[in-house]
Amino acid sequence: MAEPGARAAQAAADRGWRLRHLPVLLIASALMAAVAAVVGGVTGGADAALGAAAGVAVTAISYTLTTVVLAWADARDPQLVLPFGVGLYVAKFTLLIAVMIGVASTGWPGLIPFCLGIAAGVAVWTGVHIWWLTTVHARRAHR
């Protein structure tokens, strides 16, 4: 097992580590969006299919933006992660609330499936990220 200082030097030399997990998470989100669309379509028609898939997509876009911005900030200066993370969090949730209010005001029947799609997207992204960290990343860290 490598010394902690050696691991830090190796991580600094490997600039791609911050985004290495992103393709796996995006593939899982795309698969979840497809499943959500099918389930929405079977249970509620075209509006539900669109709403469910869009909810998963909103989650994937939001998490991808966070991942890329925080990776950029960390690569520049680790002290930038907190202010960028908090600022992005506030901006994303403000935008999400505005979108939800706007969509709710239209009476669109896909709103509930949209919300369920967001929840499913969060669950899948979080679950796959945990899997990534505990299996793939953990194996690389112990080499």
The rounded distance, in Å, linking the Cα atoms of 21 and 16 is 10
- The answer as to whether 92 is a domain residue is yes
The pTM is what? 0.83
* pLDDT at residue 116, rounded to an integer: 97
- The answer as to whether 101 is a domain residue is yes
- The answer as to whether 125 is a domain residue is yes
* pLDDT at residue 140, rounded to an integer: 65
* pLDDT at residue 19, rounded to an integer: 87
* pLDDT at residue 138, rounded to an integer: 64
* pLDDT at residue 8, rounded to an integer: 55
- The answer as to whether 90 is a domain residue is yes
Mean pLDDT of 55-76: 94
* pLDDT at residue 73, rounded to an integer: 93
CA nearest 56: which of 29, 80, 92?
29
Q: Which distant-in-sequence residues (6+ apart) come within 8 Å of 119 by Cβ?
A: 55
Which structural domain, as residue segments, surrounds residue 107?
21-141
- The answer as to whether 47 is a domain residue is yes
CA nearest 47: which of 115, 99, 110?
110
Counting the structural domains of the chain, the total is 1
Q: Cα separations (Å) of 86 from 25, 82, 83, 99, 128?
A: 22, 6, 5, 20, 23
pLDDT digits (tens, 9 = 90+) for 8-31: 555 555 567 788 889 999 999 999
Q: Which amino acid is located at 68 in the chain?
A: V
- The answer as to whether 102 is a domain residue is yes
- The answer as to whether 8 is a domain residue is no
- The answer as to whether 85 is a domain residue is yes
pLDDT digits (tens, 9 = 90+) for 85-140: 999 999 999 999 998 999 899 999 999 999 999 999 999 999 999 998 898 766 66
Name the band, by pLDDT with cuts 50, 70 and 90, for residue 6.
Answer: low
Mean pLDDT of 20-48: 96
